């Protein structure tokens, strides 16, 4: 029996790589002789670089960049096995986990470090870039990203405005004369897992601002600032992108990429699975295990387990999803090719207890799922 194990990370608890190993432990308790192929996945957020680099036998690089609040940090990026494609995840430079909860303030956070990672890709002479933009701490419309690559955001007096989402309200003009010309020749595929526009009730500030530390008044302030900025950037670039699906991703970095580069936005899991050649893995499997930290209605809309399941179903393979928890609308994933969802908790416990013992619980849930598979096959349990 060949079992492909392809989970996303259980965010805040277990990485995708560790989740795959934990699932293997549970599966081998039931099927000790099975061939278990571990293929951890991602959808553009945390773990994207590691997943694609490992799958393509590439290599990891490090760069010192500007963190979300302006402090330097060391971020990892990668070069794929083809030697011409770089992969960057903004979570490594501008991600929410990089900011302590008491410091979270999307009026101040910046995507500058993400732009510095892209500059590292350019400096390495690469031709293509896969850029994952999930998990941001920011709401600056990609302004910090553009600054790192030579753009200037000027107020009415011709002075640079500060970093952060709030200062976008003061932008009077953009000076793009210093933008890195190498961007014109860099093919950029953006792994994006949301379709939100830049502004409005479904925009970056309203939908994602609260999880980054924004209260109701700050959300209104940030939304107005992004709308103002979008008008200035449209004039400077000739591009009207605010209403394009995905423009609101990563606090508006989606819009920034569309304004200042030739990037194309695509569902993140599609890009990751293509880079991993997951289609062949699914074709060769007898059964596929996937998983994530929480399964709800959002999973069905382009999250990693849904993408894994759709690939598996193209080859009529059964799919088990091990989930850290079930939320509203979790049954929606059953229409996406997932045959059964197995939650990790086997008894009442707090969220923190679940996260603290994540790997062990994933192993136990995978074991329970494997036993059900054995029953269905008519094999000894």
CATH of the domain at 367: 3.40.50.10350
* 149 and 262 part of one domain: yes
Q: Which of 242, 268, 294 is the last residue of a domain?
A: 268
Q: Is 207 helix (H, G, I), strand (E, B) or coil?
A: helix
Per the structure block, which two tokens stand in for 366? 């995978």
Please tell me whether residues 17 and 63 are part of one structural domain.
Answer: no
Secondary structure of residue 281 in the 3-state scheme: helix
Could you tell me which residues are beta bridge partners of residue 130?
Answer: 87, 189
3-state DSSP call for residue 130? strand
Q: Which residue, of 268, 301, 323, is where some domain finishes? A: 268
Is 91 strand, coil or helix? helix
Nearest-angstrom CA–CA distance, 224 and 156: 18
Residues 282 and 214 in one domain: no
Dmax (CA) for the chain in angstroms is 78
User: Token pair for residue 109?
Assistant: 């956070």
Q: Name the nearest CA neighbour of 43 among 263, 305, 291, 281.
A: 305
Place of tokens 């405005």: 161
Report whether 342 contacts 324 (CB < 8 A).
no
Pair 78, 22 in one domain: no
* Together in a domain, 142 and 192: yes
Rounded distance, CA 288 to CA 279, Å?
12
Smallest Cα–Cα separation from 362: which of 375, 343, 381, 349? 343
E strands, the chain, in order? 2-5, 35-38, 59-66, 72-79, 85-89, 128-132, 152-154, 173-175, 187-192, 264-267, 287-292, 319-323, 340-343
Q: Whole-angstrom Cα distance, residue 265 to residue 269?
A: 12
pLDDT at 376: 83
Give the CATH number, domain containing residue 156: 3.90.1510.10
Task: Determine contact, residues 222/209, Cβ cutoff 8 Å.
Answer: yes
Q: What does DSSP assign to residue 107?
A: T
Residues 128 and 231 in one domain: yes
Output the pLDDT for position 124. 97
Is the four-CA dihedral 144, 145, 150, 153 of positive or negative sign? negative
pTM: 0.87
Q: How many residues does the chain have?
A: 381
Strands 264-267 and 187-192: parallel
In this structure, the answer to whether residues 135 and 228 fall within a common structural domain is: yes
Whether 325 and 348 share a structural domain: yes
DSSP letters along 219-249, please? HHHHHHHHHHHHHHHHHHHS---TTSTTTTH
Residues 158 and 245 in one domain: yes
Are 252 and 281 members of one domain? no
Residues 73, 190 share a domain: yes
Q: pLDDT 10s digit of each residue in the chain, 381 long? A: 999 999 999 987 899 999 999 999 999 999 999 999 999 998 888 889 998 998 899 999 999 999 999 999 999 999 999 999 999 999 999 999 999 999 999 999 999 999 999 999 999 999 999 999 988 999 999 999 999 999 999 999 999 999 999 999 999 999 999 999 999 999 999 998 788 999 999 999 999 999 999 999 999 999 999 999 999 999 999 999 999 999 999 999 999 999 999 999 998 888 889 888 899 999 999 999 999 999 998 888 778 999 999 999 999 999 999 999 999 999 999 999 999 999 998 776 777 877 778 899 999 999 999 999 988 887 655
Number of domains within the chain? 2
Nearest-5° angle of CA 98, CA 247, CA 77? 40
> Do 149 and 182 have their domain in common?
yes
Q: Which of 268, 293, 325 is the last residue of a domain?
A: 268
Determine the pLDDT at residue 379.
Answer: 62
Instruction: Tell me what pLDDT residue 381 has.
Output: 52
Number of H helices, E strands in the chain: 13, 13
Domain encompassing residue 96:
48-268
């Amino acid at each position: 029996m060949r079992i492909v194990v392809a989970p996303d990370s259980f965010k805040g608890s277990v990485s995708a790589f560790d989740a795959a190993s934990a699932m293997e432990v549970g599966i081998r308790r039931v099927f000790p002789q099975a061939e278990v192929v571990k293929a951890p996945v991602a959808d553009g957020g945390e773990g994207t670089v590691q997943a694609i680099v490992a799958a393509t036998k590439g290599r990891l690089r490090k760069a010192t960049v500007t963190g979300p609040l302006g402090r330097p940090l060391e971020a990892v990026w990668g070069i794929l096995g083809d030697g011409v494609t770089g992969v960057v995840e903004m979570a490594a430079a501008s991600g929410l986990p990089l900011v302590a909860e008491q410091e979270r303030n999307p009026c101040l956070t910046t995507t500058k470090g993400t732009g510095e990672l892209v500059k590292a890709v350019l400096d390495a002479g690469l031709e293509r870039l896969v850029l994952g933009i999930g998990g941001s701490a920011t709401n600056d419309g990609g302004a910090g990203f553009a600054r790192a690559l030579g753009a200037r955001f000027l107020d009415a007096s011709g002075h640079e405005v500060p970093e952060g989402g709030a200062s976008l309200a003061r932008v009077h003009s953009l000076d793009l004369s210093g933008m890195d010309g190498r961007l014109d020749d860099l093919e950029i595929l953006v792994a994006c897992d949301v379709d939100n526009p830049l502004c409005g009730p479904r925009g970056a500030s309203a939908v994602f601002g609260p999880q980054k530390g924004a209260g109701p008044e700050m959300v209104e302030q940030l939304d107005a600032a992004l709308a103002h900025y979008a008008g200035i950037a449209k004039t400077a670039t000739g591009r009207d992108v605010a209403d394009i699906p995905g423009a609101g991703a990563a606090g508006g970095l989606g819009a920034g990429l569309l304004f200042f580069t030739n990037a194309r936005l695509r569902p993140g899991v599609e890009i990751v699975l293509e880079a991993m050649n997951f289609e062949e893995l699914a074709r060769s499997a007898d059964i596929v295990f996937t998983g994530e930290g929480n399964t709800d209605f959002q999973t069905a809309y382009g999250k990693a387990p849904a993408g894994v399941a759709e690939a598996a179903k193209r080859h009529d393979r059964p799919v088990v999803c091990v989930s850290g928890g079930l939320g509203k609308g979790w049954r929606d994933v059953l229409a996406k090719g997932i045959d059964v969802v197995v939650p990790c908790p086997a008894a009442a416990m707090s969220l923190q207890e679940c996260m603290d013992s994540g790997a062990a619980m994933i192993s136990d849930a995978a074991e329970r799922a494997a036993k059900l598979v054995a029953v269905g096959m008519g094999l000894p349990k």
